[in-house]
Amino acid sequence: MKTLRLVLISLLIALTGLLSSCATKSSVSINASQSTPTLFFHGYGSSYHAENHMVQAAVKAGVTKAIIRADVSSTGRVTLIGRFSPTDRYPIVEVNYLNPRNPNYQADGQWAKNVIVKLQRQYHIKRFNTVAHSMGNMAVAYYLLANAKNKQLPRLQKQVTIAGHFNGILGMDDQPNRMKLRADGEPTKLNHHYRELLALRHFSALKSLQVLNIYGDKNDGSHSDGDVSNASSKSLRYLLPQVKSYQERRIVGPNAQHSKLHDNPQVNRLLIRFLWGK
């Protein structure tokens, strides 16, 4: 019996070691000093393909070679395609909503949280950056609205917004040159979603956030990128009075059209310099 007991104990120790080894392989911590991943969010009716031009510009600039994709199902289930290693520098995550026509911004924000939690569990991230185009900005904004105060989640460090429709879309709930901004940035007309986002003004948890807001102006007199008024994009400033830094960049001309902004070399240069200092 004593011999059998020793054999069983030895087997238990060996099994524990094997399980520990498997757990280590499924959960990897990336380099703490360079481990801030940047998550790219696409717009309505789009996919991660719309993020490729910006991501490949970062690769060509020598920022990183570490790129994975996060597929998000119509129920919010996240599947990571690819894998980071502990030595990867400045990793990038291309977020891919498989139901890109979901009009529920709260759900979009929850799906963004699901991606962040998945990365936290698998790679033990402490902070992250975001780059978002069009409706992707609302996913990030509603994520912050629901989760910015949660100290158990990674902290958003840098946020790049491109063609954000924070206070309306032309032809839906806005008209060219109708909405104005007061001296403090507050819009003269507030839509339903903007009224919800006003709560962000009081989130002290965002005081370390750095923001780059990029918007397009076709320079045709509409003061818009064709789909979103400049006032709607610039209304973000009023929502974030407490952040560490906030800057706006206006892109002008035909390539400043709403759907062309994520393929614009000038936009690429701006976000690469802002996020990675290159």
Taking only the tens place, the pLDDT of each residue in 87-110 is 898 999 999 999 999 989 999 999
Residue 256 carries which side chain, given as an amino acid letter? A
CA nearest neighbour of 143 among 115, 169, 118 = 115
Cα separations in angstroms, 260 against 39, 97, 143, 255: 20, 20, 25, 6
Average pLDDT of the chain is 91
Q: Per mean pLDDT, which range of 9-18, 77-86, 96-105, 137-146 is the poorest?
A: 9-18
pLDDT confidence band for 156 (50 / 70 / 90): very high
Q: What percent of the chain has pLDDT over 70?
A: 88
Domain spanning 32-276, CATH class: alpha beta
Residue 28 scores a pLDDT above 80:
no
Give domain limits for the chain. 32-276
Cα separations in angstroms, 42 against 22, 94, 161, 259, 267: 34, 9, 11, 11, 15
Q: Higher pLDDT residue, 185 or 13?
A: 185
Instruction: Return d(Cα 54, Cα 102) in angstroms, integer.
Output: 24
Question: What mean pLDDT comes out for the span 121-134?
Answer: 96
Residue 253 near residue 233 (C-beta atoms within 8 A): no
Residue 216 scores a pLDDT above 80:
yes
Residue 27 scores a pLDDT above 70:
no
Residue 17 scores a pLDDT above 50:
no
Q: What pLDDT, on a 0 to 100 scale, did the predictor assign at position 256? A: 97
Residue 233 near residue 178 (C-beta atoms within 8 A): no
Q: What pLDDT, on a 0 to 100 scale, did the predictor assign at position 7? A: 40
CA nearest neighbour of 34 among 74, 85, 76, 91 = 91
pTM of the model: 0.89
Residue 25 scores a pLDDT above 50:
no
Report residue 167 as tokens: 């206070």
Residue 14 scores a pLDDT above 50:
no
Q: What pLDDT, on a 0 to 100 scale, did the predictor assign at position 24? A: 41
**101-130 burial string, b = 16+ CB within 10 Å, else e?**
ebeebebbbbbbbbbbebbeebbebeebbb
Q: What pLDDT, on a 0 to 100 scale, did the predictor assign at position 11? A: 47
Q: What pLDDT, on a 0 to 100 scale, did the predictor assign at position 32? A: 46
Query: What is the CA angle 38-43-48, rounded to 5?
Result: 55
Q: What pLDDT, on a 0 to 100 scale, did the predictor assign at position 23? A: 41
Residue 217 scores a pLDDT above 70:
yes
Treating both helix axes as pointing N-terminal to C-terminal, what angle do 136-147 and 105-123 enclose, rounded to 10 degrees?
70
Question: What mean pLDDT comes out for the span 128-152?
Answer: 98
Q: What pLDDT, on a 0 to 100 scale, did the predictor assign at position 141? A: 98
Residue 122 near residue 67 (C-beta atoms within 8 A): no
Q: Per mean pLDDT, which range of 30-39, 125-134, 178-187, 249-258 is the poorest?
A: 30-39
Question: What mean pLDDT comes out for the span 117-139?
Answer: 97
Residue 147 carries which side chain, given as an amino acid letter? N
Taking only the tens place, the pLDDT of each residue in 55-86 is 999 999 999 999 999 999 999 999 999 999 98
pLDDT confidence band for 35 (50 / 70 / 90): confident
SS3 letters for the chain?
Answer: CHHHHHHHHHHHHHHHHHHHHHHHHHCCCCCHHHCCCEEEECCCCCCHHHHHHHHHHHHHCCCCCCEEEEEECCCCCEEEECCCCCCCCCCEEEEEECCCCCCCHHHHHHHHHHHHHHHHHHHCCCEEEEEEECCHHHHHHHHHHHHCCCCCCCEEEEEEEECCCCCCCECCCECCCCCCECCCCCECCCCHHHHHHHHHHHCHHHCCCEEEEEEEECCCCCCECCCCEHHHHHCHHHHCCCCCEEEEEEEECHHHCHHHHHHCHHHHHHHHHHHHCC
Q: What pLDDT, on a 0 to 100 scale, did the predictor assign at position 30? A: 65
